[in-house]
Amino acid sequence: MLTGRFPSPRSSDRVRPDVAVVGAGPIGLAIAWRCAARGLRVVVHDPASGSGASAVAAGMLSPVSEAYFGERDLTALLLASAARWPEFAAELTAATGADIGYRTEGTLMVGLTGDDLAEARRLWAYQQGLGLPVTPLRPSELRDREPALAPRVRGGALAPTDHQVDPRLLVPALRTAAQRAGAVLVPHAVQRLSEVDARITVVAAGCGAAGLTGLPVRPVKGQILRLRAPDGVAPGFRHVIRGYADGEPAYLVPRADGEVVLGATVEERSDTTVTAGAVQRLLRAGIDLLPELAEYDLVEAVAGLRPGTPDNAPILGPLPGRPDVLAATGHHRHGIVLTPITADLIADLVLTGVPDRLLAPFRADRFGGAGSAGAGGVGSGSVGSGAVGTGGPERATEGDRWS
């Protein structure tokens, strides 16, 4: 772990950066913003800021509907970060004047068939057992809230504290905030950590973190669709809709400008090819849940790579044997919701050298020998260069989840 307090940025060392952040997605930019705002000299390395998983992400802030069996530590972190989002969004908007698409209508979780509803109720019972706000609703109550839902929907539940943000607005706002605070963005692909000269290096490179650090971060492919309501009107629904349609998981995220994000597959692959089968499955599920989508324009079909880990939880903190290298990666499906807490915890660790207790379950050394000191400086991955590894046969690893 880090030792002692970080040296004052007013010390005699006027050239070398205090902090180098490798990766300029939402996680890296938020860390840079927090560190620069506290007076540290910050450099951010990335040849294509915002071109990774965040460019494909739907932006759901869903600690309740994302709470899943066997992930209590992760759920606690998701809840803690979601609680910071209102203030984080307000602070970011105040710093930049930018609209980031932050909305608070909540999430409706639905099941189309009896089997879908039975599976959903099993998960809701678990979430309620954790004390999370999940309110079951009859079909008539669902349609009172969202009349556009299909008449076939058998039932659902409301997660009122699950919100949303638009990642394609969030990343430019974070970039502006970081630069206004004094961070310098360098359009440079880091091939090895030995290329980076700073007192502390933060690796927030998504899937590229594997090659740079030796950590077990793998690409998890996700395909997603973007549709647009006709005639430029707002979508015919307000809540985020998450559900099963004949066993197919899907979510629908409405934007104020008429866009609807429909996603997403979860595949153990490292390519970013959009497949006809995935598009068909997503459209079928989406239209089964919200029939009016059949009249929407299909404007984009895109695939991205989430940075996954063996236990689906992020890796946060120093590499084993490398107290000068901090990992902030492996966020998988939760990178947007975990942005505020990751930025705060890593910035605090940089400044004080004292890890917050919230970091304990997410230490880099929990995977045994992964992320050793030797791997820290000799990796072959590069920020923004795409997948690391060769992937494997296409298969959904989390088909029973809501995302």
Give the pLDDT confidence score for residue 15 in this predicted structure. Answer: 77
Q: How confident is the model at residue 14 (pLDDT cuts 50, 70, 90)?
A: low
Structure tokens belonging to residue 110: 């639905």
Specify the DSSP element, H or E, that contains 241. strand 240-245
What pLDDT is recorded for position 393? 29
Mean pLDDT value across residues 73-81: 98
- Average pLDDT of the segment spanning 356-382: 66
Whole-number Å distance between alpha carbons of 179 and 169: 16
Tokens of 179: 């630069």
Is 241:364 a contact under the CB 8 Å cutoff? no
pLDDT for 375 beyond 80:
no
Residue 232: its pLDDT value, please?
Answer: 78
% the chain with pLDDT above 70: 88
To which residue do tokens 């019972």 refer?
A: 125
- pLDDT value at residue 370: 56
Q: Is the pLDDT of residue 52 over 70?
A: yes
pLDDT at 10 over 70: no
Buried b (16+ CB within 10 A) or exposed e, 13-52: eeeebbbbbbbbbbbbbbbbbbbbbbebbbbbbbeebbbb
- pLDDT of 121 over the 50 cut: yes
Q: Which amino acid is at 205?
A: A
Phi first, then psi: give them for residue 55, nearest 5 degrees: -70, -20
Q: Which one, of 188, 214, 218, 209, lies nearest residue 329 by Cα?
A: 209
Q: Assess whether pLDDT exceeds 50 at residue 388.
A: no
- Which residues face 219 on adjacent strands? 307
User: Is-contact 192 131, C-beta < 8 A?
Assistant: no
Per-residue model confidence (pLDDT) at position 369: 60
- Please give the pLDDT value at position 371: 57
Tell me what pLDDT residue 368 has: 79
Half-sphere exposure of 372 (CA within 13 A, CB side): 5
pLDDT at 272 over 90: yes
Cα 96 versus chain centre, distance: 21
| pLDDT given at position 133 | 97
**For residue 115, what pLDDT is reported?**
96
Q: What is the pLDDT of residue 231?
A: 84
Average pLDDT over residues 363-378: 62
Q: What is the mean pLDDT of residues 31-51?
A: 97
Among 64-68, 79-83, 232-236, 242-246, the range scoring the smallest mean pLDDT is 232-236
Average pLDDT, the chain: 89
* Spatial distance between the Cα atoms of 206 and 91, rounded to a whole number of angstroms: 25
Mean pLDDT of 112-141: 96
Q: Is the pLDDT of residue 390 over 50?
A: no
- In this model, does residue 396 exceed pLDDT 50? no
Residue 91 corresponds to which amino acid?
Answer: E
- Lowest model confidence (mean pLDDT) among 195-199, 257-261, 391-395: 391-395
